[in-house]
Amino acid sequence: MARNVTVAGCQMGPVSRNEGRQVVVKRLMDMMRAAHAKGARLCVFPETALTTFFPRWYMPDWNEVDTFFETEMPGPATRPLFDLAAELGVGFYLGYAEKIQENGVWHRYNTAILVDRQAKIVGKYRKVHLPGHSELDPKRPWQHLEKRYFEVGNLGFPTWRLHDPELGNAVMGMCICNDRRWPETWRVMGLRGVELVMLGYNTPSWNALGGGEDPKLRLFHNQLSLQAGCYQNGCYAVGVARAGLEDGVEMMAGSCIVAPSGEVMVETRTSGDEVIAATLDLDVCQFNKSTIFNFAAHRRIEHYGIITSQTAATPPE
């Protein structure tokens, strides 16, 4: 019996700095309905989907920073999305800025949750690879202050098997944006048997300091990261952008669904709210996992120690 899951990438167009959560959540709900109409039973939304990508702004007032964070999930603004998910029987990945008290201390993370088709939160991931910088850089026309506003995620890269035939009883994993560029992200989930990686991203089309890659090359790097991750770990990936001109900064689109072969199954054509969907045959993952990338048969961990014992590169003299 084939294990199939129909999944949708729900790409968002811009969210302006003062766009209320209720307005944003309505956009997410509209896309969830459209995805359901396409047969999808799982929706992937972008990173920090509930607000603009606020790390582009330097805010000295932490009370203002905290207006972009959620202290409860679901909260009043997001409860309608969970209610719709339960009504339609659709699970979802949602990226958001999480503020939480642990052992009496407040922490802020760039977080994603996995919600099942009964609208129950069954998984959480906190972004490990935080790009950018932690202090205001006056040379930049816009900032990238993830290292200022978020702590490094403390949950590792887990995987979850959702025991739901409508979801193909899939082994799922999550990551967020910059994580996709690091092979370690994919391999840890690969070692945990991942079959479907869900990820949201907010990637500017241009480098704030000029130079760097042009938009076309950035789109190429986005798909390259997903294609390599999928091929080398025998999994599918759904990568979903927040795109378009957001408060004066052009954010790239390029949302796509990638197969274990590394082939792009479907991708968005616009930079706005757009739903793409595909039916994934999860048993296809087994070809990679049992032949080329049969980890048990072919990996030689006795030679890999440096990957976790050393951070920076040390080239020979």
Name the residues annotated as catalytic.
47, 127, 177
Q: Which residues of 249-276 are buried (b: 16+ CB within 10 A; e: fewer)?
A: bebbbbbbbbbbebebbebbeebebbbb
In angstroms, give the least distance from the CB of 199 to ligand ING. 10
Contact positions with ligand ING (CB under 6 A) in 174-193: 177-178, 181
In angstroms, give the least distance from the CB of 231 to ligand ING. 20
Strands 159-161 and 121-126, by their bridges, are unpaired
In angstroms, give the least distance from the CB of 230 to ligand ING. 17
- Which of 133, 161 has the CB closer to ligand ING? 133
CA neighbor of 180 nearest in space, from 109, 251, 131, 118: 131
Distance, CA of 302 to CA of 159 (rounded, Å):
25
- Which of 46, 91 has the CB closer to ligand ING? 46
Instruction: Indicate which single residue of 11, 52, 143, 202 sits in contact with ligand ING (rule: CB under 6 A).
Output: 202
Site string for ligand ING, 133-152 (x = CB under 6 A): --------------------
Instruction: Indicate which single residue of 203, 233, 268, 288 sits in contact with ligand ING (rule: CB under 6 A).
Output: 203
**H helix or E strand, kind and range, residue 280:** strand 274-281
Distance, CA of 258 to CA of 278 (rounded, Å):
10
- Which of 10, 40 has the CB closer to ligand ING? 10
In angstroms, give the least distance from the CB of 201 to ligand ING. 5
Told to check if 201 binds ligand ING by CB under 6 A, we report yes
* 8 Å CB contact between 278 and 267: no
Q: For ligand ING, which stretch binds (CB under 6 A), given 199-207, 241-249, 268-276, 306-314?
A: 199-207
Distance, CA of 164 to CA of 95 (rounded, Å):
22
- Which of 16, 207 has the CB closer to ligand ING? 207
Distance, CA of 41 to CA of 302 (rounded, Å):
41
In angstroms, give the least distance from the CB of 218 to ligand ING. 6
Told to check if 243 binds ligand ING by CB under 6 A, we report no
- Contact residues for 90 (Cβ-Cβ < 8 A; gap 6+): 32, 35, 36, 40, 41, 42, 43, 84, 117
Contact positions with ligand ING (CB under 6 A) in 39-58: none
Measured CA to CA in angstroms, residue 213 lies from 133, 256, 311 at distances of: 19, 20, 25
- Which of 30, 137 has the CB closer to ligand ING? 137
- Which of 178, 288 has the CB closer to ligand ING? 178
Instruction: Indicate which single residue of 38, 89, 122, 131 sits in contact with ligand ING (rule: CB under 6 A).
Output: 131
Count, residues near ligand ING per rule CB under 6 A: 8
3-state secondary structure of 63: helix
Please give the angle made by the CA atoms of 118, 175 and 70, to the nearest 5 degrees: 60
* 8 Å CB contact between 238 and 276: no
Q: For ligand ING, which stretch binds (CB under 6 A), given 7-15, 26-34, 61-69, 198-206?
A: 198-206
In angstroms, give the least distance from the CB of 129 to ligand ING. 7
Q: Is the peptide bond before 315 cis (omega within 30 degrees of 0)?
A: no
Residues engaged in binding ligand ING (CB under 6 A)? 131, 177-178, 181, 201-203, 218
